[in-house]
Amino acid sequence: MPFARSLRSQSLLLFGGSLLLMLLIALAGFALLSRELNRYQSLVEGPLERLVEIDDTHLSFKIQVQEWKNLLLRGSDPDTAERYWQAFLTQEKEVDQRLQRLATSVDEDLRPRLTALRAQHARLGERYRAGRSAYLANGRDPRRGDAEVRGIDRETAEGFATLVAELHGRTAAQVATIRAEAQRDILLGGLALLLCGGGLLFLGVRLVERRLVDPLVACARQLGQLARGRFGERLPVGRDDELGRLTQSTNLLRDAAVQHTHDLRHQAAEVEALSALLAAQLLTEPGQPPRDVDTQTLKDVSRRLADVARDLQDAATQRQD
């Protein structure tokens, strides 16, 4: 198949697949962090917003109590007293409306407490009205007005404070949970990236070493042996890609060198035999008469030497081509 015959495609698959896997792990980590951000946003838009509203309601209640004190301390003038009383009623109405809205938006386990706090605040308003009536009936005497309502706001104020403290605790616990889970997700994402990167690095090194480096080293070693006149063993060919074709070409070069060496040895042996035959025809021992030269033998030796020379020249020409 084309993929198995292309080292470039295999390399692209290895590195591309590694990058894709790392990207998927990174995206998974971002998705986890995005989930924690959404949870934190829900916390901000939910419990934290309710907490701010309860704090504001508590502040409005304190302003309401302060307006009552202003009525007692600075209400000697009828117009001024009426102005402070209207401010008191405005704050009372605002506190009641806030408590009514909160009772429908907080968690269900807190709704009974807010409902009870609203009812308590309503009873508190009746007591303040009775105190105002006593205040007016006794010639705007602040002591008589204060005697009717002295300390009645303490329980309501403590109810607000307890509710605010509890919501603060719940919100802090949720923030701590979100922070811990976000840190855990960051740690897990980092470990996943580290392990995946290490595994891919190890796998990539092993694959590159086995599929690329080892075949190149084997081919280089074989060519080095051929350069020194050694042939060694044929390299195993089990691939059909570029390195497989390189290995096959190295084997062909090795086989050609072996065959060429065999031919040279055969021709050298033949030349040696012809030389011996020629020496037997032409050379004589000292003191012996010259031998009769066989002309046909000399012609045969000459023709055979010419054939060997032509074969050597043809072989050299083929190697150059």
pLDDT in tens, 138-153: 888 888 888 888 888 8
What pLDDT was estimated at residue 112? 86
What would the mean pLDDT of 190-210 be, rounded to a whole number?
A: 78
How many Cβ atoms sit within 10 Å of the Cβ of residue 81? 19
CA distance 146 to 73: 10
Q: What is the DSSP letter of 209?
A: I
CB atoms within 10 A of CB 72: 21
Top-confidence residue, 185 or 14: 185
CA atoms within 13 A on the CB side of 5: 4
Q: Model confidence over 54-108: pLDDT tens digits?
A: 888 889 989 999 998 888 888 778 888 889 999 999 999 999 998 888 888 777 8
Residue 145 pLDDT: 82
Residue 283 pLDDT greater than 70, yes or no: no
pLDDT at 53 > cutoff 80 = yes
pLDDT given at position 12: 73
Bigger pLDDT: 9 or 138? 138
Average pLDDT over all residues of the chain: 77
Summarised one tens digit per residue, pLDDT across range 236-254 is: 777 766 777 777 788 777 7
161 and 58 in contact (C-beta within 8 Å)?
Answer: yes
Q: Which pLDDT does position 63 carry in this prediction?
A: 92
Q: Mean of the pLDDT values across residues 26-49?
A: 71
Least confidently predicted of 83-87, 159-163, 216-220, 294-298:
294-298
> What pTM, to 2 d.p., does this model score?
0.52
Tell me what pLDDT residue 93 has: 93
Listed residue (43, 23, 18, 19) closest to 182, CA to CA: 43
How far, CA to CA in Å, does 6 sit from each of 9, 50, 243, 245, 250?
Answer: 5, 65, 9, 11, 19
Predicted pLDDT of residue 91: 92
Which pLDDT score is estimated for 87?
93
Is the pLDDT at 1 greater than 60? The verdict is no
